[in-house]
Amino acid sequence: MSAKTTVGVLATLDSKHEAARFMCDALVRAGVTPWLVDLSLRPHANDFADVGGAAVAAASQIAWEALGKMSRADAARTMIAGGLKLVRAKLDADGIDGILGVGGANGSTMSCAIMRPLPLSFPKAMVTPVAATAAVQWYVAESDIVMVPTIGDISLNRVTCAAMTNAAEAMAGMAKAWTRRSAPAAGARPLIGVSSFGNLQPAVDRITARLEAENFEVIHFHASGPGGRALESLAARGELAGVIDLTTSELTDWLTGGVYSAGESRLTAAGAAGLPQVVVPGCLDFTNWWVGEVPEKYRHRAFVQYNVEILLMRTDATEFAALGKLMGERLHAAKGPVRVLIPRGGFSALTGRKARDLAGAELGPWAQPEAEHIFVEALTRHFPGGAIRELAAHINDPDFADACVAELIALLQECKRV
């Protein structure tokens, strides 16, 4: 642990040197020591950084002056790689207790790319006008970066200086708390990831209660895109002991282009890490769309309006076949033990509801067991030798939740015996 509390500061001093100096001074006033790293893409005369741009570029094995011959994107990637290498080394040596970026769009791209791979719970914040834009989800992604909007663009005035001062004070508090934080005690409860949706709340609640009763700690990942990416990230980082992937609906949204896609890597990281997994086709029976924004090619389909914002489109047989193939191939590649549980009584809380067209006319029952059977057949073909259990229960039935927990506990015990 460092003898003094130190906060890394990331900025581009060619254009944001005044803001960087202000931020460092604000940190000093807050009682911590700044460690300033210059991420500028070109040489300049503002040479007051603790780690200059030349040193950052050199960490990527290139001369700072050579960046001018690259595209802006390639130059930024070079500085990100060098900056991350230097920041990681400083963190590994207990030389910083938090990290704070200040900048505009390009500065945020570079600073947040350096922060995102850092350990979860390590204090990190970005002070930027883009914190007030929809793009913030891409800067933060699956990390825990605190985004602080400056309201105005990065320049020194009463509004932006107040935002930067608040951020410095907040970071100083977080960094001081980090220096007092101890490592998790030996024998701490294993952390289990559970993918969740309000649609499956009865199952999520029962699974959580049963796991906690067995002395596990549980983290829920809301299956709305960022949640799935966070699950994959924590699995890859080794933070999870196992996964009950109850809500795999982000795969459907990825397949169809829905608004809750977690990207192409969903259902891969836990398998690559060798974690025990219980996987369920929870909510695979629909795609999520914003109300009023269903693409033209899908407007003839069957729907249920979930709330004032979300419209759910029923998965058809062709999509179920593709999802079975996708899930089967990804689970077949897993290095750890996998069990798939199929709730024959229905994949979501929509079972028993009526499907409607976009005009509101009733189209018949939502449930389509024949299409779900196509999914199971495709899954079986592409997950050869895999353990697949079909249960007569609905996904929200207590018996199904209990079966998920029992399967995971058996897999964890199996792993201990190996």
Crossing angle of helices 13-29 and 158-180, rounded to 10°: 60
Query: Which structural domains are found in the chain, ordered by start?
Result: 6-180 (3.40.50.12020), 191-417 (3.40.50.12030)
**Token output for 163:** 């935002």
**Rounded Cα gap, residues 205 and 189, in angstroms:** 19
How is residue 101 written in tokens?
């970026």
DSSP string, 122-171: S-EEEEEGGGGSTTHHHHHTTS-PEEEE-SS-SS-SHHHHHHHHHHHHHH
Q: What is the pLDDT of residue 418?
A: 57
pLDDT at 3: 62
Name the residue among 223, 9, 215, 192 with its Cα closest to residue 96: 9
Rounded (10°) angle between helices 72-92 and 105-115: 40
Provide CB contacts within 8 A for 203, sequence distance 6+. Answer: 246, 282, 395, 396, 397, 400, 401, 404
| pLDDT (0 to 100) of residue 186 | 54
10-residue mean pLDDT profile of the chain (418 residues): values are 82 95 97 97 95 97 94 95 97 96 94 94 94 86 91 90 96 93 68 96 97 96 92 92 98 97 95 97 97 96 94 97 98 96 97 95 94 97 93 98 98 82
The CA distance from 229 to 44, in Å, is: 38
Residue 190 is given by DSSP the state P
> What is the helix (H) or strand (E) element at residue 343, kind and residue range?
strand 338-343
Please, are residues 131 and 140 in contact by the beta-carbon 8 Å criterion? no
103 Cβ neighbours under 8 A, 6+ residues apart? 10, 11, 12, 16, 19, 110, 111, 126, 127, 128, 154
